[in-house]
Structure 1
Amino acid sequence: MKNRRMFWHIVDKIESQIDSGRYPVGSRLPPERELAENFDVSRPTIREAIIALEVRGRVEVKVSSGVYVLDTTSKYKSIPNISAFELTQARALVEGEAAALAAMAITDKELEALDHTLQAMEKGIEPENADREFHTIIATATRNTALLQSIQHYWKLRETLPQIISEYKNVCSSSDKDRLEEHRRIYNALKKHDSQEARAAMHGHFNRLINSLFEISEAKALEEVKRKSSETRDRYSITHLVG
């Protein structure tokens, strides 16, 4: 995530077209295939852009109908004020129970798919996508559509809210080894169909994430204190008068 992800550029372009009146309120956006051709990007990139626009409140996705432009009283609907701490805690509560449920119903095919995501993480093959797929497979294995949709919504928030993207950036880039080991513990518990162990392993995964977020937040706060102290020192220093 060193560079701004491609779908954000598409979000900007579509929002600009909405604001210019090309796609008025209530109108339907062109099909995914047509948008991909118009912007010369892949269809998955268009899907990510639509998800971001939906979270921002610019469009509504209607199943089997299309994507429609929403009415907004201001240029943008307010972005949800959710912190990475809040999101991680919510995910821990929901996904801990999802893991417990999944342990009772997960199939050999789903376990095999989980193993493939672990291999991808270990080899460094699109680890972020493998991470999301890992959690999605578990959510699917609960056989509970409401849980699946809740967990998918949390992922949308994680990948589209600027404040959360920023807070997660350093955690995710510096903890690939920890993440892999934690996912393996979750996988092993699911493979044994042990609900209690699966729940505990999932909670352990998110607990480490929350602690890492606190460490980064504290480091930033300390750095800010040092910066302000340095500015004050420079302002009132009389070193240049001494000697």
Structure 2
Amino acid sequence: MREIAAMMPAQKLYQRIAEDIAAAIAEGRFAPGARLPSERDLAEEFAVSRPTIREAMIALEMRGLVEARKGSGIYVTQAPPSREDAEAELDVGAFELIEARTLFEGEAAALAAASIDAETLTELRHLLEVMEHDADAPEAVDADRRFHLAIAAATGNTLIRSAIETLWDVRERSPLCIRMFAQARREGVMPRVAEHRLILEALEAHEPQAAREAMRSHLRRVTTDLLDATRLELMKQAEADFDAQRSRVVARTGL
């Protein structure tokens, strides 16, 4: 499993890990029904973070290669499809996206704080009110995007704004990202108004370091929410599978 360095550099890190595990399954190192090592063990083996392993597991789950079992772990369900089909199904994951957003948007917030104008601050206050009114509404999700892009535009640098807008576009187009954020919404994870307010307050005070830290803190919290949401999703799927299997057994035995 360690021989991931020789794979194509254009691949995302979690993709390379997913492909390496899929190859191990195809080679018979993990047969159908076999339990995969724990997230912690895989993270140590590949020398990556647990969020990266989580993205790889979700990608493999989307391809139907693994499944979660209640109180037990992640198990192999079948041999992988052809490599061409596998690559078409993998895309950017939410954890990778947020890592990039933290880098770009943290610095963008700091830069914007130095020169943001009154008109943009008024716009940000309005968007915050939209998010505050009904965090579950589509308008609030759109306001969340517009809030972050308005800050990017306030830097006065078109390349920074374009880069951050591209990251948000990836969030809305990547199948893996869409799935992970949908899981988070099902678990009640919505735009965090209080954290956005702290960002706005730092911008109003024209304090670059405070704006940078407020943005980074917000995005770190999003990462934590996603970790919790995807873990709960795997647990719920395992419980549903267990209940379905139990129902079949009960029906066959007449108990």
TM interval, short-chain normalised: 0.5 to 0.7
Secondary structure of the 1:115 match is helix
* Cα pair 2:202 2:211 within 8 Å, conserved: yes
SS in 2 for 1:142: coil
Query: Gaps spanning 5+ residues in structure 1: where?
Result: 1-73
Pick which of 203-212 and 218-227 moved more.
218-227
1:98 to 2:108 alignment: yes
Question: How much does 1:233 deviate?
Answer: 6.1
Structure 2 equivalent of residue 23 of structure 1: none
Amino acid at match of 2:193: L
Q: Which residue of 2 aligns with 1:144?
A: 157
What is the rounded CA distance, in whole Å, between the counterparts of 1:205 and 1:144 in structure 2?
23
Which residue of structure 1 lines up, in the alignment, with residue 74 of structure 2? none
* CA apart distance, 1:99: 0.5
Deviation at 1:150, TM superposition (A): 0.7
Of residues 99, 123, 127, the one that matches 1:113 is: 123
| Secondary structure of the structure 1 residue equivalent to 2:206 | coil
Q: For the residues of structure 2 that align with 1:121 and 1:225, how far apart are their CA atoms?
A: 33
Equivalent residue, structure 2, for 1:213: 226
CA RMSD of aligned residues (A): 2.9
Structure 2: gaps spanning 5 or more residues: 1-83
Partner letter of residue 151 of structure 2?
I
Q: Give the match's secondary structure for 1:208.
A: helix
What is the percentage of aligned positions where both structures have the same residue?
36
Q: Secondary structure at the match of 2:192?
A: helix
Deviation per CA, 1:78-132, whole angstroms, max 9, x where unpaired?
4761111111121111101111111111111111111111122222371122111
Cα distance between partner residues in 2 of 1:115 and 1:79? 39
Aligned match for 1:133, one of 134, 146, 151: 146
Q: 1:185 aligns to what?
A: 198
1:165 partnered with 2:175:
no
Larger Rg: 1
Give, in whole Å, the separation in 1 of the partners of 2:88 and 2:253.
50
d(CA) in 2 for partners of 1:142 and 1:216? 33
Contact 1:171 1:209 in 2 (8 A): no
CA–CA distance in 1 between the matches of 2:254 and 2:123?
71
Number of residues of Structure 1 aligned to a counterpart in Structure 2 = 166
